[in-house]
Amino acid sequence: MVGCGKMGGALLSNWRAGSESFTIVDPNLTEAPDGVRLVSDRDAVKGEAFDVVVVAIKPQMIADVMPAYADIVSDGGYALSIAAGASLERIGTAMKGTPVIRVMPNLPAAIGKATSGVCPGAGVNEDQQSHAMDLMQRAGTAVLVDSEDELDRVTAVAGSGPGYVFEIARAYVEAAKALGFDDKDARTLVLGTLEGTIAMAIQQSDNTLEDLRNSVTSKGGTTAAGLGALNGDESLSKLLRETLQAAYDRAVDLR
């Protein structure tokens, strides 16, 4: 693993459940997780061969840093990139033709609940693809996509998604406080409601979200009144579409 920031560290904490041995190359890291080898520079792995080189550095560093790692990829090995916004072509060029798989995880990887997109590049074989999917599924849920455009859409929905959810939860808590609850009780009520509702939607996946919403909405009742204010004019639906489109457009720009 070349570089090991917050996302790299979060993924590594889940990946260690497998049989692989991991080496981190990171001059800024002073301590590695138990059972993980840490070295400070490329020279420390000179002459070694690795089945997977994980690209976990900032995208702007790829052209300068990654060419030095192309010759340590073993026969049949591949590069796995978590560098947001760096295209398959850019990474493949830096890695001198090494097969590349891009992944887009999201923040809940830190607790083993990531939702990730996995995008294989040209030359990736079934074994490499299967291994990458296994790695990402150890960190949560993974979806295989066919193109970088689809991965950009995953980025808009899931990669950036925790930010939207945190903001919705924050606004929900503020609204509860405006209704008279203190911060602690407002947070407990809101986060407990979100947690239970999402768990119910997952467990009752045979029901549509519309059906589940309707099951708690009585005509003329409190929920109906609240929903009318929330999205009676479809403004929330429109806002969410605009949110995802803006994130997708930016992902395309970064590529």
Q: Are 158 and 34 in contact (CB under 8 A)?
A: no
SS (H, E, C) the chain: CECCCHHHHHHHHHHCCCCCCCEEECCCCCCCCCCCEEECCHHHHCCCCEEEEEECCCHHHHHHHHHHHHHHEEEEEEEEECCCCCCHHHHHHHCCCCCEEEEECCHHHHHCCEEEEEEECCCCCHHHHHHHHHHHHHCEEEEECCCHHHHHHHHHHHHCHHHHHHHHHHHHHHHHHHCCCCHHHHHHHHHHHHHHHHHHHHHCCCCCHHHHHHHCCCCCCHHHHHHHHHHCCCHHHHHHHHHHHHHHHHHHHHC
Inform me whether the pLDDT recorded for 61 exceeds 90. Answer: yes
Of 3.40.190.10, 3.10.450.50, 3.40.50.720, 3.30.465.10, which CATH number belongs to 6-146? 3.40.50.720
Inform me whether the pLDDT recorded for 191 exceeds 90. Answer: yes
The band of 22, judged by pLDDT with boundaries at 50, 70 and 90, is very high
Q: Please name every residue paired with 116 in a beta bridge, in sequence order, or none if there are none.
A: 142
pLDDT in tens, 148-180: 999 999 999 999 999 999 999 999 999 999 999
Q: What percent of the chain has pLDDT over 90?
A: 95
Average per-residue pLDDT for the chain: 96
Inform me whether the pLDDT recorded for 126 exceeds 80. Answer: yes
| Distance in angstroms (rounded) separating the CA atoms of residues 194 and 133 | 29
Q: Are 71 and 53 in contact (CB under 8 A)?
A: no
Q: Where in the chain are all domains bearing CATH 3.40.50.720?
A: 6-146
Inform me whether the pLDDT recorded for 250 exceeds 80. Answer: yes
Inform me whether the pLDDT recorded for 99 exceeds 90. Answer: yes
Of 1.10.3730.10, 3.30.470.20, 3.40.140.10, 3.40.50.920, which CATH number belongs to 161-254? 1.10.3730.10
What pLDDT, on the 0 to 100 scale, is given for residue 33?
84
What pLDDT, on the 0 to 100 scale, is given for residue 254?
83
Inform me whether the pLDDT recorded for 34 exceeds 90. Answer: no
Q: Where in the chain are all domains bearing CATH 1.10.3730.10?
A: 161-254
The band of 238, judged by pLDDT with boundaries at 50, 70 and 90, is very high
pTM of the model: 0.90
